[in-house]
């Protein structure tokens, strides 16, 4: 691989461009919480349960405005996609360490309950030239700027 190809390998793919991503669904769900800098005490994993390590063909898509996670899952399903689980967030961040400035990314295939009671999804957002791992409320409206990591159904 040339230096140019190596540099391109770490660039976030364009929206609607398929790429391979290894996802370890054997990761303890509370590790997804602690990897974002939160204390796992009081958090609850709502599921669904996935197991094993697999390389998925994934892509980033924009679903337009959706009122909540349920609507995002429905819209993705109508497009022939399944939202990728939050366990993929850190492997995405490791593979593509620099944000592309095109908006945050949601990993809406799994869900957690925040200690304050709100259901949340794992996401990545940019802070200057680095991604930061976080969670966003599942019942919140997601505007056009949000991208969703999906796999075919």
Nearest to 56 by CA among 23, 93, 100: 23
CA pair distance 95, 117, nearest whole angstrom: 32
| DSSP 8-state symbol, 28 | -
Q: pLDDT, tens digit, for every residue of 8-33? A: 568 999 999 999 999 988 889 999 99
Cis amide prior to 48 (ω within 30 degrees): yes
Contact yes or no for 67/5 (Cβ under 8 A)? no
Q: pLDDT, tens digit, for every residue of 118-142? A: 999 999 999 888 999 999 999 989 9
Domains in the chain, CATH or no CATH each: 3-152 (3.10.100)
What's the pLDDT at 56? 93
Which band of pLDDT confidence, cut at 50, 70 and 90, is reported for residue 3? very low
Return mean pLDDT, the chain: 92
Q: Which helix (H) or strand (E) holds 90?
A: helix 89-95
Q: pLDDT, tens digit, for every residue of 68-88? A: 999 999 999 999 999 999 999
């Amino acid at each position: 691989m040339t230096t140019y190809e190596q540099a391109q390998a770490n660039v976030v793919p364009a929206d609607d461009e398929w790429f391979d991503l290894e996802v370890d669904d054997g990761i303890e769900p509370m590790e997804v919480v602690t990897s974002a800098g939160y204390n796992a005490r009081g958090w609850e994993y709502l599921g669904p349960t996935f197991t094993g390590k697999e390389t998925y063909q994934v892509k980033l898509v924009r679903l337009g405005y959706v009122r909540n996670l349920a609507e995002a899952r429905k819209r993705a399903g109508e497009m022939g996609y399944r939202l990728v689980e939050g366990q993929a967030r850190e492997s995405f961040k490791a593979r593509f360490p620099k944000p592309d400035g095109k908006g945050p990314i949601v990993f809406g295939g799994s869900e957690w309950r925040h200690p304050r009671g709100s259901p949340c999804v794992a996401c990545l957002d940019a802070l200057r030239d680095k991604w930061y791992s976080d969670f966003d409320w599942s019942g919140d409206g997601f505007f056009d700027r949000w991208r969703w990591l999906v796999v075919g159904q």
